[in-house]
Structure 1
Amino acid sequence: MKQKMIGLTEKYVYDQLNLDASGHDWFHIDRVRKLALHIAKEEKRGNVFIIEMAALLHDIPDDKLNDDVDAAWGKLDAWLQELKLDEDRVKAIQEIIRTISYSSGQLKLPSIEAEIVQDADRLDAIGAIGIARTFAFGGKKGQPMYDPELPVRENMSKMEYRKGKSSSVHHFYEKLLSLKDMLNTSTAKKIASERHEYMVGYLKEFYKEWDVRL
């Protein structure tokens, strides 16, 4: 029964996000799911069904992807009800999705399952894939690739983080380079180390080419 629910949820999420061009498409979801299951296996902790379901559904009500967040949450709730999940599982999945977002701030996470899914989502925001997703999202938002005249924003409100003027390269300093120190599990921290260094090297090369230093 659990595998049937997961299979149905895969199709549901694929249908919702397949055409996304902001870096939050089905392939992102699938990578987060795989990362989360790997972390759970290595850590030997967590309910893998809850982890997999939350990883699959975590972007359905994301405020970056929905103009009406309440309606998006209603859509998620309706899907969980359609699966006839028991109340405890529904609550566990909802709590994970509600608390893991970077824009939610440093909320206390409700469970090891939430820690694992958050780590998986953050790992997909760094490294080579993270770089590609950053520029995809920036282009989707219509923000510049880089503008050296813009300041790096600090201590942002959620509104400033979402709506303020920035560039894709600035996003590395405003979020991505700090993620390796914001992970919960030792497994994720090990994976993040190499991905972080890749981003640092990329930025060095970016500035070299930006300044046409031959």
Structure 2
Amino acid sequence: MNELQQRQLAAATAYMQQVLGQDHSGHSVDHIQRVVRLTTTICQQEQVAVFVPVLAATLHDVIDDKVVSDVETARQELRDFLTMQQVSVTEQAEIWQIIDRLSFSKNLVHKQQLSLNGQIVQDADRLDAIGAIGIARTFYYGGHTGAAMYDPAIKPRTQMDKSAYRKQSPVINHFYEKLLLLQDSMNTASAKKIAAQRQQVMLDFLAEFKAEWNGDV
């Protein structure tokens, strides 16, 4: 990255910290830091320039409707910020495309088209939703929203749109409704390799959880 890009990224990091610094839903600064590290790693392995993917990864949750109460205001503030930081029109357009298309809920009905930069950020974000961290974040978010931990009588849902997906269900069901599906949705070879190991962590956890729940061990 050149000197201007380094300044822009530093400013974006400070902006993200201001917006997400008090988040308690699992979309806080530590989540962004992990996604940025994963994005950087995948870019290096896929031999892709890091600036646009890392900038998008840094900012991808600052307009998320799970995090901010007024999405339109948050979007305008982000537009103003990017312009003030002299991020080019072309780079802004790609950053918006990535942020607006990467989420799981946006891809429930129709798969959104993403550039390679966008695919890398999507992979990084989804990798942070699975494995040991994914397990922790899922229960953290479930506690944040008051969801039940588990109810064997409530079966995982299928064929959901965004509205149905956002309706509360037991935490364990979220593994079947989303997390265990993410391995097959990875775009890059680098992410697929990481996802395979994290998938097994979740499968082992679920087997142990249900055995303990049922009193089998």
TM bucket normalised to smaller: over 0.9
Q: TM (normalized to structure 2)?
A: 0.94
CA contact (8 A) 1:96 1:109 kept: no
- The residue number in structure 2 matching 1:103 is 105
Q: How much has 1:107 moved relative to structure 2?
A: 3.1
Q: Which amino acid aligns with 1:179?
A: L
Q: How much has 1:200 moved relative to structure 2?
A: 0.1
- The residue number in structure 2 matching 1:68 is 70
Aligned mates of 2:171, 2:81 — CA distance in 1 = 34
Q: Which amino acid aligns with 1:189?
A: K
Q: How much has 1:66 moved relative to structure 2?
A: 2.4
CA contact (8 A) 1:180 1:193 kept: yes
Q: Does 1:118 align with 2:118?
A: no
- Which one of 74, 80, 101 corresponds to residue 78 of structure 1? 80
Q: Which amino acid aligns with 1:130?
A: G
- The residue number in structure 1 matching 2:159 is 155
CA contact (8 A) 2:102 2:112 kept: no
CA contact (8 A) 2:57 2:121 kept: yes
Q: How much has 1:68 moved relative to structure 2?
A: 2.5
- SS state of the match for residue 23, structure 1? coil
* Identity in percent: 43
Question: Comparing 61-70 with 204-213, which one deviates more in the overlay?
Answer: 61-70
Q: Which amino acid aligns with 2:206?
A: L
CA contact (8 A) 2:106 2:112 kept: no
- Which one of 123, 128, 139 corresponds to residue 132 of structure 2? 128
Aligned mates of 1:212, 1:92 — CA distance in 2 = 51
- The residue number in structure 2 matching 1:139 is 143
CA contact (8 A) 2:36 2:58 kept: yes
Q: Does 1:26 align with 2:46?
A: no
Paired positions, count = 212
Aligned mates of 1:195, 1:127 — CA distance in 2 = 4
Q: How much has 1:48 moved relative to structure 2?
A: 1.0
Runs of 4+ in structure 1 off by over 6 angstroms are: none
Q: Which amino acid aligns with 1:124?
A: D
Q: Which runs of 5+ in 1 are unaligned?
A: none
Question: Comparing 34-43 with 79-88, which one deviates more in the overlay?
Answer: 79-88
